[in-house]
Structure 1
Amino acid sequence: MTAPQHTPFYDSHLAAGARMVDFAGWEMPINYGSQIKEHDQVRQDAGMFDVSHMTIVDITGADARVWLQRLIANDVARLRETGKALYSAMLDDQGGVIDDLIVYLVADGYRMVINAGTTAKDLAWMEKQASGFAVALDVRRDLAMLAVQGPQAIAKVCQARPDWADAIRALKVFQGVPCGESFLARTGYTGEDGLELMIPAAEAAPLFARLLEVGVAPCGLGARDTLRLEAGMNLYGHEMDETVSPLQAGMDWTIAWEPASRDFIGRAALEAQRAGGVPFKQVGLVLEGRGVLRAGQAVRVEGVGEGVITSGSFSPTLKYSVAIARVPFATGEHALVDLRGVETGVRVVKLPFVRHGKQVYC
Structure 2
Amino acid sequence: MTQKTVLNEMHRRLGAKMVDFGGWDMPLHYGSQIEEHHAVRRDCGMFDVSHMCALDVAGPDAKTFLLRLIANNVGRLQTPGKALYSAMLNPSGGVVDDLIVYFVEDGQYRVVINAGTAEKDIAWMNARLAEWNLAATCLPRRDLAIIAVQGPNAKSRVWQVLPETRAASEALPPFHSISVGDYFVATTGYTGEDGLEITLPASKAQAFWQALLDAGVPPIGLGARDTLRLEAGMNLYGQDMDENVSPLDAGLTWTVDLSSDRDFVGKAALLAQPQRYDFLGLVLLDRGVLRAHQSVTSEHGDGEITSGTFSPTLQTSIALARLPLGTAIGETVHVAVRDKQLAARVTKPRFVRNGRGLI
TM-score range, shorter chain: over 0.9
For residues 132-173 of structure 1, give each alpha carbon's deviation from its aligned partner in whole angstroms, at most 9, with x where no partner exists. 001111100000001100000000000111121212213111
On the 8 A contact 2:150/2:193 being kept in 1, the answer is yes
On the 8 A contact 1:289/1:320 being kept in 2, the answer is no
Separation (CA, whole Å) in 2 of partners of 1:208 and 1:288: 41
Higher mean C-alpha displacement, 307-316 vs 9-18: 9-18
Shift of 1:8: 0.9
For residues 255-285 of structure 1, give each alpha carbon's deviation from its aligned partner in whole angstroms, at most 9, with x where no partner exists. 11232x21111111111122xxx22111000
In structure 1, the partner of 2:207 is: 206
- Return the letter of the residue paired with 1:24: G
In structure 1, the partner of 2:311 is: 315
Separation (CA, whole Å) in 1 of partners of 2:285 and 2:13: 39
Q: State the SS of the aligned residue for 2:212.
A: helix
Q: State the SS of the aligned residue for 1:6.
A: coil
In structure 2, the partner of 1:327 is: 323
Separation (CA, whole Å) in 2 of partners of 1:219 and 1:61: 37
Separation (CA, whole Å) in 2 of partners of 1:216 and 1:258: 44
Separation (CA, whole Å) in 1 of partners of 2:75 and 2:278: 28
Separation (CA, whole Å) in 2 of partners of 1:42 and 1:266: 37
In structure 2, the partner of 1:292 is: 289
Separation (CA, whole Å) in 2 of partners of 1:37 and 1:135: 45
Aligned residues: 354
In structure 2, the partner of 1:339 is: 337
On the 8 A contact 2:81/2:178 being kept in 1, the answer is yes
In structure 2, the partner of 1:67 is: 65
Shift of 1:91: 0.2
Whether 2:224 is the aligned partner of 1:228: answer: no
- Return the letter of the residue paired with 2:101: V
On the 8 A contact 2:67/2:74 being kept in 1, the answer is yes
On the 8 A contact 1:292/1:313 being kept in 2, the answer is yes
Separation (CA, whole Å) in 2 of partners of 1:30 and 1:247: 31
In structure 2, the partner of 1:245 is: 246
Separation (CA, whole Å) in 1 of partners of 2:184 and 2:225: 22
Whether 2:328 is the aligned partner of 1:356: answer: no
In structure 2, the partner of 1:122 is: 121
Separation (CA, whole Å) in 1 of partners of 2:240 and 2:23: 21
For residues 100-151 of structure 1, give each alpha carbon's deviation from its aligned partner in whole angstroms, at most 9, with x where no partner exists. 0000000351000000011111111100110200111110000000110000
Q: TM-score scaled by structure 1?
A: 0.96
Shift of 1:5: 1.1
Shift of 1:242: 0.7
Separation (CA, whole Å) in 1 of partners of 2:203 and 2:172: 25
In structure 1, the partner of 2:151 is: 150
Separation (CA, whole Å) in 2 of partners of 1:190 and 1:139: 25
- Return the letter of the residue paired with 2:315: K
Q: State the SS of the aligned residue for 1:192.
A: coil
Separation (CA, whole Å) in 2 of partners of 1:83 and 1:289: 46
Q: Alpha carbon RMSD of aligned pairs, Å?
A: 0.9
Query: Which of 82, 85, 104 matches 2:83?
Result: 85
- Return the letter of the residue paired with 2:273: Q
On the 8 A contact 2:285/2:342 being kept in 1, the answer is no
Q: State the SS of the aligned residue for 1:218.
A: coil
**Identity between Structure 1 and Structure 2 (%):** 55
Query: Which of 58, 69, 78 matches 2:56?
Result: 58
Gaps of 5+ in 2: none
Shift of 1:215: 1.3
Q: State the SS of the aligned residue for 1:58.
A: strand
Shift of 1:289: 3.1
On the 8 A contact 1:154/1:168 being kept in 2, the answer is no
- Return the letter of the residue paired with 1:224: R
Q: State the SS of the aligned residue for 2:149.
A: strand
In structure 2, the partner of 1:257 is: 258
Matches within 5 A, 1:123-202: 123-131=122-130, 132-202=133-203
Q: State the SS of the aligned residue for 2:63.
A: helix
Shift of 1:203: 0.7
In structure 1, the partner of 2:302 is: 306
In structure 1, the partner of 2:3 is: 5
On the 8 A contact 1:158/1:168 being kept in 2, the answer is no
- Return the letter of the residue paired with 1:280: Y
Shift of 1:10: 1.0
Query: Which of 7, 14, 24 matches 1:16?
Result: 14
Which runs of 4 or more aligned residues in structure 1 lie more than 3 Å from their structure 2 counterparts after TM superposition? none
Gaps of 5+ in 1: none
In structure 1, the partner of 2:279 is: 282
Separation (CA, whole Å) in 2 of partners of 1:201 and 1:317: 34
